[in-house]
Chains A and B, each alone.
Chain A
Amino acid sequence: MQSRSTGAYLGWTAALFVVLFYAFVPVLWLVSLSLKTPATVSDKNFVPQDVTLDNYTTLFEGGLDSPLLRPLINSVAIALIATVIAVTLASFTAYAIARLDFPGKAVILAGALAIAMFPPISVVGPLFDMWRTLGLYDTYVGLIIPYLTFALPLAIYTLVAFFREIPWELEQAAQVDGATPWQAFRKIILPLAAPGVFTAAILVFIFAWNDFVFAITLTSSDASRTVPAALAFFQGESQFTAPTGNIAAAAVLVTVPIIIFVLIFQRRIVAGLTAGAVKG
């Protein structure tokens, strides 16, 4: 019995290491590349022989005209704005879907799901033409709108699940206590749905942050180009040197905001917020 559980423990540990190895090797490789000098980029050493931070510093040389600073600002701004709008709208929608009985509820949910499954690549062509006509091409708004289209269904689905978990009696208790529907929503429902709101926020932020298809198609300058698109425009020091080190450094930097964002909000995703509300 004892040996079997020890064996299982070792087995699981081994499996865990395989997964970790699989997940981390590409990341570590990127880090390794980003610390190498151009001369040693292709020396096939996993651990850099002589470490340099040049790849990072050159990304920011020249302030706002630098290769990465302006795209980084664009990325953060666009992803944050899209996240805030999507989560706000989605929480209203999800609340209505979870609580109210209205005609067309099923259609809204099915429609949202259909849109979420739509391949983005099939809409970028028409969007490109439309945005140029409307003057939205190469603007923040031009990117935020398509992001919302895909982020909203995601957020709605996440939030509906959370809202359904909140006992309806709580809201009725608030109504009897003298709350307007808005007060009941803001003071009772929303605080309890916080884990759902943050989960949705993380998902939407990551989606907007990682997008490449819309970013590369609907932007043409640093005015609105986001980091994933900007990476594709990196140039080497001469046309014969590939900017491998710079791309690796930028790739490492791009993951940092995501990690910070997730770490901040993950702390708010705690289970059992509604514990003690109702009995039975």
Chain B
Amino acid sequence: MADIKLHDITKRYADGTEAVKHMNLEIEDGEFMILVGPSGCGKSTALRMIAGLEDISEGELLIGDRVVNNLAPRDRDIAMVFQNYALYPHMTVRANMGFALKLAKVPQAEIDAKVEDAARTLDLTEHLDRKPANLSGGQRQRVAMGRAIVRDPQVFLMDEPLSNLDAKLRVQMRTEVSRLQRNLSTTMVYVTHDQTEAMTLGDRVAVMRSGVLQQVDTPRVLYNDPVNIFVAGFIGSPAMNFFSGAISNGKVKLPFAEVAAPEGVSHSGDVIVGIRPEDFEDARFAPSDHPAGVQFTAPIEVLESMGSEIYVYFSFEGGEVSSDELAELARDSGIAETPSGGAGLAVARLNPESDISQGQRAKLWFDGAKLHLFDPADGSSLRRAEQEQEQAAQAAQATQEAVQAESEKAPSARADAEQDDETTPE
């Protein structure tokens, strides 16, 4: 077991394109770190650099206390699960799982014991003498995991291990992975493009976009306090709604309502406002004593009842947001294909008891304290920007390293603080 440190890691291909740009990330011993982002964001490349399957163009990679930039994969003491499993088709499950130990010249009796142990954990015992071709997708996936765990490596690397499974099996294996990591408490780096996997599995989640690390934090902080519009839109399902609005005289003007600006925001002028679907409600079910609640009426275009909740898509005018980051999100996450992606539509999650129907103008409510405000120029979170300014001022005298440590630890504390803000009446 070991920690992993990426110092200013860059991957540059021969043609000059940079897949990963100056990535700094510290993964603690025993931590479950998720790398998440849309396809082509460099997350797999980053993982493969940790594995040693890609050269590192610049920067320094440490596993434990060793610089491993120039070590071959086999000298890094890592195990990897590939997206397409990469099982050795000419070997039985037993031989597949024991292959690494056999190469390491572990005595056969010990190999057998370890393989059978792992097979028991993964419920593969009766399949040990079969070939991969005769296994189902889920079983192959478990063999791939078994091959990794028998080795008892310092680090597990997983490259979208569940993306080839059907939806039901994926949920099942997700809990399996989570249980496995807790039991083994081995450092794990897990790449996925699925924000649900990221949110449910990770101790911390690193969100990447176009080779640049956007934010690294606990799922909760990512959800409550995204650093920019990209993270805000990527984390959460259905995705956050964005409206263009303006702040003046301490009021945020939205296409359908006006609310008091959150405390501590001194910005004025145009802003992008993000509201999560779950912060809307049918006005009938809105908490009556919520001070920051705002009611408005909007035409309901589409209604989707999920049983446990209802999604309504309501239209609004004059507040559509166009931004590069949003466009990229829409493209990669398929949001563009859902009704909410269309211009002038927003999605709200309502109480299943709601009797709102499609086509009517309905009374809706939203929690004005849970607005997310973003700078329209660069998409960064306004609230965070101001917090960081304050902190920067405080930390001006600290050394560079101290600043760095601060910004890595601080977000969780900040998130708690912010949550207090949100529940305090304004």
Contact flag A177-B164 (CB < 8 Å), given A276-B132, A277-B86: no
Using Cβ atoms and an 8 Å threshold, which residues of chain A touch B53? Answer: 172, 175-176
Bound-state Cα–Cα, A180 to B137, Å: 29
Using Cβ atoms and an 8 Å threshold, which residues of chain A touch B151? Answer: 177
B82 touches which of A172, A179, A192 (Cβ 8 Å): A172
Residue on A nearest B80 in the bound complex, by CB: A176
Using Cβ atoms and an 8 Å threshold, which residues of chain B touch A172? Answer: 51, 53, 73, 80, 82, 86
Binds A, one of B97-105, B172-180, B219-227: B97-105
Bound-state Cα–Cα, A183 to B103, Å: 9
Within 8 A of A (CB), among B44-84: 51-53, 72-74, 78-80, 82-84
**Interface flag for B135 (CB, 8 Å):** yes
**Interface flag for B87 (CB, 8 Å):** yes
User: Do the beta carbons of B90 and A191 come within 8 Å of each other?
Assistant: yes
User: Do the beta carbons of A192 and B89 come within 8 Å of each other?
Assistant: yes
A177-198 near B? 1/0 per residue, CB < 8 Å: 1111001000110011000000
Within 8 A of B (CB), among A143-184: 167, 169-170, 172-180, 183
- Looking at the assembled complex, report how far the CB atom of B255 sits from the nearest CB atom of chain A, in whole angstroms: 43
Most chain A C-beta atoms within 10 Å of own C-beta, residue among B72, B90, B131, B140: B90
Bound-state Cα–Cα, A174 to B78, Å: 12
User: Do the beta carbons of B79 and A275 come within 8 Å of each other?
Assistant: no
User: Do the beta carbons of B132 and A175 come within 8 Å of each other?
Assistant: no
State the interface size on chain B (CB cutoff 8 A): 33
User: Do the beta carbons of A175 and B73 come within 8 Å of each other?
Assistant: yes
Bound-state Cα–Cα, A274 to B135, Å: 14
Bound-state Cα–Cα, A103 to B258, Å: 65
Residue on A nearest B159 in the bound complex, by CB: A169
User: Do the beta carbons of B100 and A278 come within 8 Å of each other?
Assistant: no
User: Do the beta carbons of A167 and B84 come within 8 Å of each other?
Assistant: yes
Residue on A nearest B51 in the bound complex, by CB: A176
Bound-state Cα–Cα, A177 to B53, Å: 12
Within 8 A of B (CB), among A266-280: 272-280
User: Do the beta carbons of B74 and A169 come within 8 Å of each other?
Assistant: no
User: Do the beta carbons of A173 and B80 come within 8 Å of each other?
Assistant: yes
User: Do the beta carbons of A188 and B88 come within 8 Å of each other?
Assistant: yes
- Looking at the assembled complex, report how far the CB atom of A180 sits from the nearest CB atom of chain B, in whole angstroms: 7
B84 touches which of A183, A191, A273, A280 (Cβ 8 Å): A280
Using Cβ atoms and an 8 Å threshold, which residues of chain B touch A183? Answer: 103
- Looking at the assembled complex, report how far the CB atom of A11 sits from the nearest CB atom of chain B, in whole angstroms: 37
| A-B contacts at CB below 8 angstroms, number | 90
User: Do the beta carbons of B99 and A277 come within 8 Å of each other?
Assistant: no
Bound-state Cα–Cα, A276 to B85, Å: 9
* Size category, A interface: 20 to 34
- Looking at the assembled complex, report how far the CB atom of B95 sits from the nearest CB atom of chain A, in whole angstroms: 10
Using Cβ atoms and an 8 Å threshold, which residues of chain A touch B276? Answer: none
- Looking at the assembled complex, report how far the CB atom of A171 sits from the nearest CB atom of chain B, in whole angstroms: 9
- Looking at the assembled complex, report how far the CB atom of A100 sits from the nearest CB atom of chain B, in whole angstroms: 14
Contact flag A276-B131 (CB < 8 Å), given A177-B103, A192-B89: yes
Bound-state Cα–Cα, A15 to B38, Å: 57
**Interface flag for B392 (CB, 8 Å):** no
Using Cβ atoms and an 8 Å threshold, which residues of chain A touch B104? Answer: 178
Using Cβ atoms and an 8 Å threshold, which residues of chain A touch B72? Answer: 175
- Looking at the assembled complex, report how far the CB atom of A153 sits from the nearest CB atom of chain B, in whole angstroms: 28
A276 touches which of B51, B79, B80, B140 (Cβ 8 Å): B140
User: Do the beta carbons of B84 and A278 come within 8 Å of each other?
Assistant: yes
Within 8 A of B (CB), among A236-280: 272-280
User: Do the beta carbons of A279 and B164 come within 8 Å of each other?
Assistant: yes
User: Do the beta carbons of B89 and A274 come within 8 Å of each other?
Assistant: yes
- Looking at the assembled complex, report how far the CB atom of A271 sits from the nearest CB atom of chain B, in whole angstroms: 12
Contact flag A176-B164 (CB < 8 Å), given A277-B86, A277-B87: no
**Interface flag for B257 (CB, 8 Å):** no
Residue on A nearest B103 in the bound complex, by CB: A178
User: Do the beta carbons of B73 and A176 come within 8 Å of each other?
Assistant: yes
Residue on A nearest B131 in the bound complex, by CB: A276
- Looking at the assembled complex, report how far the CB atom of A197 sits from the nearest CB atom of chain B, in whole angstroms: 13
Contact flag A192-B90 (CB < 8 Å), given A176-B53, A176-B73, A179-B103: yes
User: Do the beta carbons of A277 and B89 come within 8 Å of each other?
Assistant: yes
New A-B contacts (16) at CB < 8 Å, excluding given A173-B147, A178-B103, A272-B133: A170-B89, A172-B53, A175-B53, A176-B157, A177-B99, A177-B103, A177-B147, A183-B103, A191-B90, A273-B89, A275-B132, A276-B89, A276-B133, A276-B135, A276-B140, A277-B87
Give B contacts to A, CB under 8 Å: 51-53, 72-74, 78-80, 82-90, 99-100, 103-104, 131-135, 137, 140, 147, 151, 157, 164
Give A contacts to B, CB under 8 Å: 167, 169-170, 172-180, 183, 187-188, 191-192, 272-280
23 A–B pairs (Cβ distance < 8 Å), ordered by A: A169-B82, A169-B86, A170-B88, A172-B73, A172-B80, A173-B80, A173-B86, A173-B88, A174-B99, A175-B53, A176-B51, A176-B52, A177-B103, A177-B147, A272-B133, A273-B89, A274-B89, A275-B89, A276-B131, A276-B132, A277-B88, A279-B140, A279-B164
